[in-house]
Chain A
Amino acid sequence: MKFKVQRENLLKPLQLVSGVVERRQTLPVLSNLLLSAEADKISLTGTDLEVELVAELKTSVDEAGEITIPARKLLDICRTLPEGAQLEIVVTGDKAQLKSGRSRFSLSTLPASEFPSVDEIHGMRQFEIGQGELRRLIERTHFCMAQQDVRYYLNGLMFEIEGQSLRSVATDGHRLAMSDLVTSADVGENQQVIVPRKGIQELARLLVDDDERVQIHLGNNHIRLQLPGLRFTSKLIDGRFPDYQRVLPKGGNKLLTAECAQLKQALIRTSILSNEKYRGVRLQLDNGRLRILAHNPEQEEAEEELEVEYQGDELEIGFNVTYLLDAINAIVGDKVTISLSDANSSCLIQEPAEGSSKYVVMPMRL
């Protein structure tokens, strides 16, 4: 195998693909990238057995071939070479020689045949949406995904498709985020898929905020996205997502509307003196007025008062302030509406005009 490539052309795809490679590996070949060269292009593949990313770029290939080389080292070399550098990579025997100007590197390799490839994808269906649209679905919900929960099906983001609707839902059992998108074309019959946390994090890095289309392939066990020059594949979590419809609060008769920025600042200040571990704050609602209180084990106390739109009975309720802030940060627009019913029931946070996203947060007992 032998090819030449401009540093700037290689660096971006190399960074993306290396991002998938986990630092700690059980299988040595997983810390390598699969490099293949044919005709006038090369492709780079990184995988952690759950998520696979393939980047393709045009360049002049002298001799086709396939090999795997250490991802981290190749990336570090490319990063530190001077701007505009020209690289030549030649594989001879079990070494990959990398030359650029007066620099020479000889890297160890493992045969391409040892590199794991994704199982064949069955039961494929396809549709297209804008990159920006998909990116927003992820941005508005991903922070509610669970992390290493034994309820493994919560450690990911659930996409639900039906007709012209695409919905993303994430929950860690204490709070839930849901965002809706109306697609231009019919995407087909109802289906729920759960994309693991790592896949979502990678996707969030790949997608750009514009109208460029992304092709989504949905298999029984995989999701695949085709982007310009990049192919992303992730296994799906094999499990049933909980019935999220059931936990969307319906009877919230106490409506609070506040300025997003004002409420956010007040919460941030109060949180400084909340318990560092449990992050509890106490909300007290009265006609047109919201008080936020916090105290910590050192007996320090914080109190904020702000004017809000609220008419209803007095109410006192506790929340994890991080959950409230995460939701308010994801709200688009200047105002936020919070519907409550009592101190033991969840609240619903959304944009005043019933926007495309909804957030449910369970209270803390005071």
Chain B
Amino acid sequence: MIIHVDMDAFYASVEERDRPELVGRAVVVGGSADGRGVVAAANYAARTFGIHSAMPAAQAYRLCPQAVFLPPRIKYYADVSRKIRHIFERYTPLVEPLSLDEAFMDARASERLFGSSESIARQIKNDILTELGLVASVGVAPNKFLAKLASDFDKPNGFVVIHEQDIQPFLDPLPVQRLWGVGRVGARVFDELGIHTVGQLRQRSKNWLCGRFGKFGEHLWQLAHGRDERTVVPDRQAKSISHETTFEHDIDDVNVLKSNLLTMTEQVAYRLRQAQLRARTVSLKLRYADFHTLTRAHTLEQPTHATDALWATANRLLDQRLLPLSAPVRLVGVGVSALESTQTNQTDLFAQARDIRRQDVDRLSDDISARFGRGALRRGRTLKP
């Protein structure tokens, strides 16, 4: 069984834990309400006012002026996250963090030591509460896809186990957009086809789905049957780092596309630098509204973690190998692979002065992000007109 642990309103809960006077009040962590900041996290009290993460802070303020607005302390949350991870690692080395507040674990090999995966999951949830005073929602299921659905099913403070025989009864009534890869727009496509639930999707044949959505159809068919072959990959062995986003509305403006790609490239580059890695290969993924999906990759002569260098490559891949767009785009993603450690500190003979300047810019921007939160300093292109 795979375990998925998702911290409830993580940033906000950490703040509440440290400042008991906040308990019971709506707490919003994020950029300032008078600027252009966005909500990074909102506690459940705030969510009852309709506030959710990624909402402009100004809008959150309008919804609930009496909420407590706090600037994020990312470094501190990362520390807490590390402590949570240490708890996971008591039970298994197979921990795959997805972000600061979420991780997959595969504890099957530890069952003889600590009991069933289900009981390990309970111990983890309990350890997090008693040692760190934080509440987690936990899902236990035969694979990653189901484990993540399970942890989300009874949030907050959930604990949901899906056994083999419960898979279809659990999945069938869920709305199709709960399938990984189907967003709000995808759901609309299914709506038109008269498919609203996973169960209805499952009634369709694999051939029908593949004919309609290509490879993605195969993926949907597998998920609808509760199948997911992905294994838990511990972070330190990461082979690639990627970000992708599904647009709320399909995009046909190349500039909007590029602005989103740049934002994701910044995030990928930031994660590379945090992990002390450089990448040689940059890849782009583009999914059209009809789910036709293209990927293109380019391998660089020298590995890099410079945002500028990665962006130049991603931008060129888009310009030369994916444009012009043949239809509106529903998803774009950028990823890097062929990773190498930077810990050698060996300097390069042919490094250009430009590379050194890039490093300075990145270091500065990382410092600013660490201090003021991601998005505090942004490249001009990523700002929407």
* A residues lining the B interface (CB < 8 Å): 150-151, 171, 173-176, 242, 247, 277-278, 280, 318, 320, 344, 346, 360, 362-366
Contact = CB atoms under 8 A, between A and B. Distances in A.
B350 A278 contact: no
A173 B300 CA distance: 14
B360 to A, nearest CB: 13
Contacts of A346: 349
A280 B343 CA distance: 11
A176 B350 CA distance: 11
B345 A318 contact: yes
A173 B280 contact: no
B347 interface: yes
Contacts of A174: 346-349
B301 A150 contact: yes
Interface of B: 280, 299-302, 343-350
Contacts, number: 44
A66 B12 CA distance: 82
Given A150-B299, A150-B301, A151-B301, A320 B346 contact: yes
From DSSP, what is the main secondary structure of chain A's interface residues? loop
B347 A344 contact: yes
Contacts of B302: 151, 173
Nearest to B356: A344
B345 A173 contact: no
Given A150-B299, A150-B300, A173-B302, A247 B345 contact: no
Contacts of A363: 347
A175 B347 CA distance: 10
B280 A280 contact: no
A348 to B, nearest CB: 12
A360 to B, nearest CB: 7
Nearest to B280: A150
Nearest to B343: A278
B229 to A, nearest CB: 31
Given A150-B301, A151-B302, A362 B344 contact: no
14 contacts: A150-B280, A150-B300, A151-B302, A171-B349, A173-B302, A173-B349, A176-B349, A278-B344, A278-B345, A318-B345, A362-B347, A362-B349, A364-B345, A364-B347
B350 to A, nearest CB: 6
A324 to B, nearest CB: 13
Contacts of A320: 346
Given A176-B349, A362-B349, 13 more contacts: A150-B280, A173-B349, A173-B350, A175-B349, A278-B346, A280-B345, A344-B347, A346-B349, A363-B347, A364-B345, A365-B345, A365-B347, A366-B345
A277 B349 CA distance: 20
Nearest to B338: A150
Contacts of B343: 278
Nearest to B349: A247
Q: Which of B347, B349, B350 has the most CB of A within 10 A?
A: B349
Q: Which 4 A-B pairs have the closest CB atoms?
A: A365-B345, A362-B347, A278-B344, A364-B345
Contacts of B346: 174, 278, 320, 362, 364
User: Which of A174, A175, A346: most chain B Cβ within 10 A?
Assistant: A174
Contacts of B300: 150
Contacts of B280: 150
Contact of A173 (B299, B344, B348): B348
